[in-house]
């Protein structure tokens, strides 16, 4: 007995022979994807068969066309999303290892200074230091103050502290912005992949609904033919 699964069919695009159970029937492809294939290979019809590699290739082209219609061009992040859809990869992975890079000694110092410089502990302690400085020079050492009013040395210290503290805090913020950018790109890829897959799912559902309607019409036509035959036999028996 001949096994239908051993039947060989030929890909209408590449000409490659394959077993029928591994082939894609063009009749099962959604209309937009089918139209894209036909635009490049007019010999393809709904009775044709295609290899899985060929279908995946045109799926990738179709998704690229969707992105180009929406955004005008395909960038690196969108390319990663397209490849993930093409190879059925999951993008929602943990990014902890990607952003948890080992900081250098200078970066650790910058983080600690930024953490301390942005706290109430720093504000209150530095305010206390200024009050002590002014009190010592005005009251305790009024006759031989090392920094008499208008406290030029204190102003110099404050200026030096501000000039050093600002770039150190910016170093820490740049590292945080880098982590936030990675998180943002990761979220963007997941959202774009979900949006494209939902769009493809809607198109597939539309194709299935149309296909189902066609099948229902065929069934109704068959039922109508059966009904005509039954009515014809009944009329024949009466006569």
Report yes or no: 49 and 10 within 8 Å, Cβ to Cβ: yes
| C-alpha count within 13 angstroms, C-beta hemisphere, residue 212 | 6
* Entry field: residues in the chain: 239
What does each of the 239 residues of the chain score in pLDDT, given as a tens digit? 444 456 788 888 888 888 877 787 888 777 778 888 888 888 888 888 888 888 878 877 887 777 777 666 666 667 777 776 666 666 666 555 555 566 777 778 888 888 887 788 888 988 898 898 888 888 777 677 787 888 888 889 888 888 888 888 888 888 778 778 878 877 877 777 777 777 667 666 665 666 566 667 767 777 777 677 777 777 766 65
Quick one: pLDDT at residue 128? 92
Quick one: pLDDT at residue 13? 87
Whole-structure pTM value:
0.45
| Alpha carbon distance 176, 115 (integer Å) | 12
| Alpha carbon distance 58, 52 (integer Å) | 10
Angle 84-85-86 from CA coordinates, rounded to 5°: 90
Quick one: pLDDT at residue 2? 44
Q: Is 9 helix (H, G, I), strand (E, B) or coil?
A: strand
| Alpha carbon distance 209, 109 (integer Å) | 63
Residue 8: Cβ-neighbour burial (10 angstroms; 0-12, 13-18, 19+): exposed
Beta-strand relationship, 24-25 and 8-10: unpaired
Q: Which of 200, 201, 194, 212 is nearest to 36 (CA)?
A: 200
């Amino acid at each position: 007995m001949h096994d239908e699964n051993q039947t060989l069919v030929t890909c209408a695009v590449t000409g490659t022979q394959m077993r029928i159970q591994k082939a894609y029937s063009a009749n099962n492809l959604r209309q937009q994807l089918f139209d894209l294939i036909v635009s490049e290979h007019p010999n393809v019809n709904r009775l044709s068969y295609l290899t899985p590699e060929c279908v995946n290739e045109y799926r990738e082209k179709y998704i690229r066309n969707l992105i180009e219609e929406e955004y005008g061009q395909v960038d690196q992040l969108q390319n990663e999303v397209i490849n993930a859809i093409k190879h059925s990869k999951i993008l929602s992975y943990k990014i902890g290892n990607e952003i948890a890079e080992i900081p250098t000694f200078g970066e650790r110092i910058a983080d600690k200074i930024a953490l301390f410089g942005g706290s109430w502990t720093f504000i209150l302690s530095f305010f206390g230091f200024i009050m002590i400085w002014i009190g010592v020079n005005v009251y305790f050492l009024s006759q031989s103050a090392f920094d008499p009013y208008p406290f030029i040395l204190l102003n110099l210290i404050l200026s030096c502290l501000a000039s050093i503290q600002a770039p150190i805090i910016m170093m820490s913020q740049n590292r945080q912005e880098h982590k936030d950018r990675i998180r943002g790109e990761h979220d963007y890829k997941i959202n774009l992949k979900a949006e494209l897959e939902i769009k493809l799912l809607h198109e597939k559902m539309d194709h299935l609904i149309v296909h189902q309607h066609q099948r229902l019409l065929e069934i109704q036509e068959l039922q109508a033919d059966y009904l005509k035959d039954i009515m014809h036999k009944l009329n024949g028996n009466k006569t």
